[in-house]
Structure 1
Amino acid sequence: MKQYGFGVDIGGTTCKIGFFDMSGTVLEKWEIKTNTENGGASILDDVAAEVLGKLQEKGIKKEDVQGIGLGVPGPVGSDGTVYKCVNLGWDIFNVETELYKKTGLLVKAGNDANVAALGEMWQGGGKGHEDVVMITLGTGVGGGIIIGGRIVAGHHGAGGEIGHILMREDETQTCGCGKKGHLEQYASATGIVRMAQEKLSGETRETKLNDIRPLTAKDIFDAAKEGDTVALELTDQLCSILATAMSSISCVADPEIFVVGGGVSKAGAFLIEGIKKHFVEKAFHASEGTEIALATLGNDAGMYGCVRLLF
């Protein structure tokens, strides 16, 4: 008998829902608005309605459904307890139990960044590997650690919070978490722009970056690819910082592969080759050959990972 599953990636704006067979093929995917009114009180009702409605539409019985995997933008305990989701308005409660009550289906939940890493391990850039570290370079820097095919969430749910690795003791500006000198202050899309603005304020050499307003991470990488010296120095600095963090991660988690995703990763092979160059120089010798690859699932990684939670 064919088995099915649902992957539901809950974001602050939309919930991405995927209907899968359990071999990892997405049969349908769609989005609904995340209703954050009244402390997000109706979010699980909306998800339940979508899931049950899809089963009715397809004529599929509940016993043919493995369950619902849920990605949540906040720390999630191993028992399914959510420890506050500011973006959703949720306080502390067991999301697995609550959604089970509404659907009668098994529910497994995890942090959204962790399940995205699980998705990339299963059907994305890390496919074929069981020890994977994903680094997501977006507005901030997120990540997930998968060892032996399982998420390493840690005792406090902070496993994979790669963006908050301390990189500089002398930083004067504050990270979004309230502390200073963390990786995401340099390696995120906003971080590289901040580094560029600091560099340009004292730069006397000619560079295309002075003519671009507002400056974005893409602009910096595009100029570097065209041979702009200042942009090349900035992207090399970014790759060096990332490689430093990744070499430290390797000494703790020792993954088979790093998978790099998020908006900044659209710089493609240029970014990956830059990181590899510095990683080989900085990593412990046993880890020098660790593979570094681009993520391939994009915004769907979370849905895939949610389904993989059900295994």
Structure 2
Amino acid sequence: MKKYGFGVDIGGTTCKIGLFETTGVIIEKWEIPTRTDNHGENILSDVTDSVMGKMAEKGISKEDVQGVGIGVPGPVTAEGVVQKCVNLGWGVFDVVKEMTEKTGLYIKVGNDANVAALGEMWQGGGKGRKNMIMVTLGTGVGGGIIVDGKIVAGSHGAGGEIGHMTVNTEETEQCGCGRYGCLEQYASATGAVRLAKRKLQATDKQTVLRNYDPLTAKDIFDAAKAKDQVADEVVEEMTMILGKQLSDMACVVDPEIIVIGGGVSKAGTILTERIQKYYKKAAFLVCRNAEFALATLGNDAGMYGCVQMILQ
């Protein structure tokens, strides 16, 4: 008899929900609005209604559901207690307890970047591997660490927060987290733009980057592919910082593969090849041959990871 699982990726604007067979086949996916008013008090009720409604529609009984996995944008303890989700209006909140009471189903909760990494390991760019670093390059830098097939969440749910590793102790501009010189300030989409603007102020070289307002990370990578020298220098600086930082992480994790996702990853091989170049230059000898791959599941990675989480 078929068994099913639900993957719920709760974002600040929408909740992405997927109904899966436990083999990894997605049957259907949909979205509902994330109601963040009143400190997000309605979010879990809305998710419950949506999941229960889908079970009724498909004629699926509770006995046929392995569980519901939930990804949230904030640190989560191994017990499923959310430490804080600013985007959702939540403080310290026991999501597992509340959702178990609401649904009567088995519930697991994880950080959204961590479960995305789990999804990519299960059915995406890291499929078939058990030791993996996932880096998501978007507005910020997120990450997930998988060791022996399991998420490394840490004691406070902050495992994999690689965007806030310090890479420059001389930085004078503040990161959004309140510290200075975080990886996120250099390797994210906003970080790439920041590097480019600094370079434009420091050089009088001709470059198409001066023609864009606003300038985006995509503009920078497109210009680098078109052999624009200044854009190429920005990409080199960004990938050098990220490649070196990943080489340090490899000394701890010893990954089989490093998967790069997020919006910036759409730049493709110009990104992965250069990160890998700097990684290999700096990596400890036995870690040097880790594979690099692009994430393949896109915005669905979190849903896949949520389901894999309940299967473990």
Range class of TM-score, shorter chain: over 0.9
SS across alignment from 1:91: coil
Render the CA deviation track for 1:180-232: whole Å, top value 9, x for unaligned: 00100000000010110011012111111111111110001001001111111
Give the TM-score, by structure 2 length. Answer: 0.99
Equivalent residue number for residue 137 of structure 2: 137
Matched, 1:27 2:32: no
Mapping for residues 102-181 of structure 1, pairs under 5 Å: 102-181=102-181
C-alpha distance in 2 between matches for 1:79 and 1:276: 36
Equivalent residue number for residue 66 of structure 2: 66
C-alpha contact 2:132 2:147 (8 A) present in aligned 1: yes
C-alpha distance in 1 between matches for 2:174 and 2:158: 19
Equivalent residue number for residue 231 of structure 1: 231
C-alpha distance in 2 between matches for 1:177 and 1:51: 34
Matched, 1:95 2:67: no
SS across alignment from 1:114: helix
C-alpha distance in 1 between matches for 2:13 and 2:124: 24
C-alpha distance in 2 between matches for 1:98 and 1:277: 47
The worse-fitting range, judged by mean Cα deviation, of 85-94 and 59-68 is 85-94
C-alpha distance in 2 between matches for 1:126 and 1:79: 26
C-alpha distance in 1 between matches for 2:56 and 2:193: 49
The worse-fitting range, judged by mean Cα deviation, of 183-192 and 88-97 is 88-97
SS across alignment from 2:292: strand
Q: Any runs of at least 4 consecutive aligned residues in structure 1 with deviations exceeding 2 A, and if so which?
A: none
Aligned residues: 311
The aligned amino acid for 1:49 is: D
C-alpha contact 2:78 2:155 (8 A) present in aligned 1: no
The aligned amino acid for 2:96 is: E
Give the superposition deviation at 1:73.
0.9
C-alpha distance in 1 between matches for 2:88 and 2:205: 46
Give the superposition deviation at 1:280.
1.1
Equivalent residue number for residue 197 of structure 1: 197
C-alpha distance in 2 between matches for 1:284 and 1:60: 51
C-alpha distance in 2 between matches for 1:184 and 1:235: 15
SS across alignment from 1:221: helix
C-alpha distance in 2 between matches for 1:210 and 1:63: 60
Give the superposition deviation at 1:93.
2.2
Equivalent residue number for residue 214 of structure 1: 214
Mapping for residues 41-80 of structure 1, pairs under 5 Å: 41-80=41-80
Equivalent residue number for residue 251 of structure 2: 251
Segments of 5+ residues of structure 2 without an aligned counterpart are none
C-alpha distance in 1 between matches for 2:239 and 2:83: 33
C-alpha distance in 2 between matches for 1:227 and 1:85: 42
C-alpha distance in 1 between matches for 2:288 and 2:91: 43
Equivalent residue number for residue 10 of structure 2: 10
Equivalent residue number for residue 309 of structure 2: 309
* Seq. identity, %: 62
C-alpha distance in 2 between matches for 1:60 and 1:195: 52
Give the superposition deviation at 1:277.
1.2
Equivalent residue number for residue 283 of structure 1: 283
CA RMSD after TM alignment: 0.7
Segments of 5+ residues of structure 1 without an aligned counterpart are none
